[in-house]
């Protein structure tokens, strides 16, 4: 297979972890006789410094003309002035909108080697394997805003069509898993949540009647993630709720450094990134965990390129490294970013030679 994968290192630890992904994807391509063209482009703070905007036209064009986009991270203290008219995070929102990626998939499952790193007791971690499907291009993040020194507002708006397309995707994913879908909402307070419930119930009754479906208030969902995380299979929710809950779920898994994500549309390239952010305190130290980015690259191989065997190889190799303590400090291991990358490459090499 020949495929173009656009790499967006971005800011903070982004360049380090995307470099790791480039090395590993190159080796995967060699093992399976593929050709991956992997050009790099600017986004976020790095793009602001170079061009004055966080999502340059050149980057936008590259993101449209590829099979998948792998993003490191955006943002950092250098660009944190709240009065600034141009901010790195605007580039991320612009990119999601330009690519039409409306569904953010964040899988969470526990590994025995990381159970000690989780704040939860081991018995609560057994059997944890769920997927959060977060609506990505609507809601309060994209609503009309008013900002002042005495009063500010952020409008949360959803249309039935926006809700329907994300629910259809979540329902199909649940049907391919254990057949359970949970809608997380705040319908006792928010009109948008009541719309979500109405649209979801209609779609499920007409198209997916076999699914096991329930609803959960977002505050109850936040508690259940810590008290009974194994109850979940697929969670579907709006933009802000999904953003917050998946960061909470990272603690369940043992480290935010290992959680990948995929942002998808109905057609066109997907956007893949670890959920941990730019981690400016680790930038330039060589201590960043590359595993979340590598697992995001595995999702890219699977969902955008259809290379399921290659994706499984990569996922299993990363998990083998974790099982054997070949990890960075956030997971209790002795390795830096480069050595952790070399550990993955060495295990891929050993497997390909077997």
300 & 205 share domain: no
pLDDT surpassing 90 at residue 119 = no
Tokens found for residue 92: 């991320």
- Catalytic-residue membership of 272: no
234 & 272 share domain: no
In a domain, 246, yes or no: yes
pLDDT surpassing 80 at residue 176 = yes
In a domain, 322, yes or no: yes
14 & 99 share domain: yes
DSSP 329: G
Q: pLDDT band for position 112 (50/70/90)? A: confident
Residue 254 backbone zone (phi > 0: left; psi -120 to 50: alpha; other: beta): left
149 & 204 share domain: yes
pLDDT tens, position by position, 49-60: 999 999 999 999
The residue-averaged pLDDT of 165-182 equals: 97
DSSP class per residue in 139-200? GGGTS-EE--SS--EE-----HHHHHHHHHHHHHHHHTTTSEEEEEE-TTT-HHHHHHHHHH
The residue-averaged pLDDT of 306-334 equals: 95
pLDDT for residue 254 = 78
Final residue in a domain of this structure, among 198, 228, 253 = 253
Q: Which of 11, 16, 233, 243 is catalytic?
A: 243
Q: Domain containing 219: what range?
A: 119-253
- Catalytic-residue membership of 49: no
pTM: 0.92
How many H helices and E strands in the chain? 12, 12
Q: Are strands 129-135 and 103-109 parallel, antiparallel or unpaired?
A: antiparallel
pLDDT tens, position by position, 212-244: 999 999 999 999 999 999 999 999 999 999 999
Q: Write the CATH number for 65.
A: 3.40.718.10
Q: Residue 57 to residues 53, 85, 113, 188, 323: CA-CA distances in angstroms?
A: 9, 18, 44, 42, 43
188 & 280 share domain: no
- The 3-state secondary structure of 88-123 reads HHHHHHHHHHHHCCCEEEEEEECCHHHHHHCCCCHH
Q: pLDDT band for position 337 (50/70/90)? A: very high
Residue with tokens 């891929």: 348
DSSP strands (E only) in 199-349: 212-217, 234-237, 262-264, 270-272
- Catalytic-residue membership of 141: yes
pLDDT tens, position by position, 22-62: 999 999 999 999 999 999 999 999 999 999 999 999 999 99
Q: Which of 65, 212, 219, 281 is catalytic?
A: 219
Domain count, the chain: 2
Question: Mean of the per-residue pLDDT values for the chain?
Answer: 95
In a domain, 114, yes or no: no
Chain centroid offset of residue 340 CA? 21
- Catalytic-residue membership of 186: yes
Residue with tokens 């970013």: 337
pLDDT for residue 120 = 84
80 & 195 share domain: no
Residues contacting 272, CB < 8 A, separation 6+:
68, 69, 70, 71, 260, 261, 262, 263, 296, 297, 299, 300, 304
Q: Which of 129, 154, 172, 247 is catalytic?
A: 247
The residue-averaged pLDDT of 176-200 equals: 98
In a domain, 10, yes or no: yes
Q: Which of 186, 233, 302, 330 is catalytic?
A: 186
CB 17 within 8 A of CB 337: yes
pLDDT for residue 274 = 95
Q: Which of 141, 158, 213, 272 is catalytic?
A: 141
In a domain, 108, yes or no: no
pLDDT for residue 56 = 98
Final residue in a domain of this structure, among 235, 253, 271 = 253
Q: pLDDT band for position 247 (50/70/90)? A: confident
Final residue in a domain of this structure, among 253, 284, 309 = 253
């Amino acid at each position: 297979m020949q495929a173009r994968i656009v790499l967006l290192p971005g800011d903070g630890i982004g360049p380090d972890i995307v470099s790791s992904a480039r090395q590993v994807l190159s080796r995967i391509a060699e093992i399976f006789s593929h050709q991956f063209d992997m050009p790099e482009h600017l986004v976020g703070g790095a793009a602001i410094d170079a061009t004055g905007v966080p999502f340059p036209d050149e980057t936008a064009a590259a993101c449209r003309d590829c099979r998948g986009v792998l993003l490191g991270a955006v943002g950092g203290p250098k660009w944190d002035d709240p009065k600034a008219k141009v901010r790195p995070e605007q580039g991320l929102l612009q990119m999601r909108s330009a690519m039409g990626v409306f569904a953010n998939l964040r899988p969470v499952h526990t590994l025995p080697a990381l159970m000690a790193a989780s704040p939860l007791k081991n018995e609560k971690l057994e059997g944890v394997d769920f997927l959060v499907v977060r609506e990505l291009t609507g809601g309060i993040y994209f609503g009309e805003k008013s900002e002042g020194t005495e009063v500010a507002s952020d409008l949360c708006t959803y249309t039935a069509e926006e809700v329907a397309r994300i629910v259809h995707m979540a329902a199909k994913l649940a049907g391919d898993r254990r057949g359970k879908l949970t809608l997380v909402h705040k319908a006792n307070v928010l009109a948008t949540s009541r719309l979500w419930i109405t649209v979801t119930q209609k779609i499920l009754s007409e198209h997916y009647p076999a699914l096991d479906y329930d609803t959960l208030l977002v505050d109850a969902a936040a508690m259940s993630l810590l008290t009974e995380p194994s109850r979940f299979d697929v969670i579907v929710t709006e933009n802000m709720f999904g953003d917050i809950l998946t960061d909470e779920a990272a603690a369940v898994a043992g480290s935010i450094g290992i959680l990948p994500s995929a942002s998808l549309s109905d057609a066109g390239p997907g956007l893949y990134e670890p959920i941990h952010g730019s981690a400016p305190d680790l930038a330039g130290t060589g201590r960043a965990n590359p595993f979340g980015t590598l697992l995001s690259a595995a999702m890219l191989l699977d969902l955008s390129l259809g290379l399921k065997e290659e994706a499984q190889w990569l996922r299993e190799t990363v998990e083998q490294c974790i099982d054997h303590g070949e990890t960075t400090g956030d997971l209790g291991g002795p390795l830096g970013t480069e050595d952790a990358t070399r550990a993955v490459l060495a295990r891929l090499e050993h497997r390909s030679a077997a």
